[in-house]
Chain A
């Protein structure tokens, strides 16, 4: 069974253009100069391919490399760093690696959840969700003091994961009608967002702003969430 050498290196990403979890994989692959085929998925009508490649969660993103599928964005990011060793996403030092993994987990399991509560609730419940999000973000604020990026002078795992905060939470504040991350309270985070926005890889890999906001507005209408 002769395989073309190009096939054995084939990288395919099943993703969705507006998903922060899908975009972070694109950032990592682009950072490392890994060519990949992107397969846009309709998550409202999941393809047989997606269901076959991610039977456990049935979600994007799924990375397929050498014919083998890998799901869960944090697992995929570590796989990418393990496989393509140039431009490392994780630091060398074990305690710094542990901290990076710690912050990545905090962002996905708590900050993301709290931010979604802000979008999905009103009144007192929303106020509580805003406060919870801000309390969690304060830890990230302190982490950024004296650094251009969470990864130091260049993008690292936490920067890639935290694009969720920069381009999905902060970007949609006007639509949500609440400044969850005001610049007076979070000057470091805002400085970091400026640094991110000037980075070529980030610029290339995040959803275009107008289309993104339009998409979110439409979704909010569909879910009967009042948009500002």
Chain B
């Protein structure tokens, strides 16, 4: 597991480049991807944000050490405003001081930059890649919006309508999972990938919402494959350290939703 502090100075003899140096008579050349991958990595974010969780899982999957720069809730640091002048939002990845913004875009950047490390986060076939991108966009633009509307809904009628919309989305994602996973545990196959990360990052907030509403938003009876997938996702070693604890997140949610209207 990569540490959040600086890279240790110990020489790891199993490191591929060092091993190659020891076994070949000539000094190995750094590959293009290694050159691209060098440089300090920092991530501006916050522990509770599902969007911030996405690049964190990706960096973990690629075993890339990074410094996590936590923003204080309610204010934006100078570095954030300078690094993301357009949206002024987290997450922002800083790689050798170059900023990359927008969570799904950052995940692709991580996959392309550290392509020789860890599993590929996107499938290899163009059509499968298109499906991953399509559903990731659907999750952000429709599914998550329905989840947010559920939190805001007032009265039984409105709640019923939002739940119906949300469950329609779940049914679509259940089918998408079966199509994409092709019998494997994740949308991306054997390993967590771009689409797993895009949906999985919302699971902690989903659980908090279920608790607050006393309603099962992800139901084993209705979406059995998604529920199994959620279990696998949450238990993955790349995910566990960065998935907010439900109780801690519920407390945080109470605090931020209790703020008086401006």
Tell me whether A75 and B130 are in contact in the complex, defined as CB-CB below 8 angstroms, given that A56-B138, A139-B86 are known contacts: yes
**Residues 131-165 of B at the A interface (beta carbon under 8 Å):** 133-134, 137-138
CB within 8 A of A98: which of B106, B126, B133? B106
Q: Is the interface of B mostly helix, strand, loop or mixed?
A: helix
Alpha-carbon gap, A66 to B137, bound state (A) = 23
Whether A16 is near chain B, meaning CB under 8 Å from some CB there, is no
Whether A215 is near chain B, meaning CB under 8 Å from some CB there, is no
**Residues 99-145 of B at the A interface (beta carbon under 8 Å):** 100-102, 105-106, 108-109, 112-113, 126-127, 129-130, 133-134, 137-138
Whether B36 is near chain A, meaning CB under 8 Å from some CB there, is yes
Chain A interface extent, by class: 20 to 34
Whether A148 is near chain B, meaning CB under 8 Å from some CB there, is no
Interface string of A76-88 (1 = CB under 8 A from B): 1011001100000
Residues of B contacting A71 with CB < 8 Å? 134
Tell me whether A70 and B102 are in contact in the complex, defined as CB-CB below 8 angstroms, given that A94-B36, A101-B108 are known contacts: no
Whether B98 is near chain A, meaning CB under 8 Å from some CB there, is yes
Contact call B102/A101, Cβ cutoff below 8 A:
yes
Q: Is the interface of A mostly helix, strand, loop or mixed?
A: helix
Whether B89 is near chain A, meaning CB under 8 Å from some CB there, is no
Contact call A70/B86, Cβ cutoff below 8 A:
no
CB within 8 A of B105: which of A70, A76, A82, A102? A102
The interface on chain B, measured as residues whose beta carbon lies within 8 A of the other chain's beta carbons, has a size of 22
Whether B191 is near chain A, meaning CB under 8 Å from some CB there, is no
Contact call A94/B130, Cβ cutoff below 8 A:
no
Tell me whether A78 and B130 are in contact in the complex, defined as CB-CB below 8 angstroms, given that A101-B105, A102-B105, A106-B86 are known contacts: yes
Alpha-carbon gap, A83 to B102, bound state (A) = 25
Residues of B contacting A94 with CB < 8 Å? 36, 109, 112-113
Contact call B86/A79, Cβ cutoff below 8 A:
no
Contact call B95/A95, Cβ cutoff below 8 A:
yes
Alpha-carbon gap, A75 to B137, bound state (A) = 9
Min Cβ gap B253→A in Å is: 26
Min Cβ gap A91→B in Å is: 11
Binding site for A on B (CB under 8 A): 36, 86, 95, 98, 100-102, 105-106, 108-109, 112-113, 126-127, 129-130, 133-134, 137-138, 172
Supply 29 A–B pairs (Cβ within 8 Å), ascending by A: A56-B138, A56-B172, A65-B127, A68-B127, A71-B134, A72-B137, A74-B133, A74-B137, A75-B133, A75-B137, A78-B129, A79-B130, A82-B126, A82-B129, A82-B130, A94-B113, A95-B95, A95-B98, A95-B100, A95-B109, A97-B108, A97-B112, A98-B108, A98-B109, A101-B102, A101-B108, A105-B102, A105-B105, A106-B86
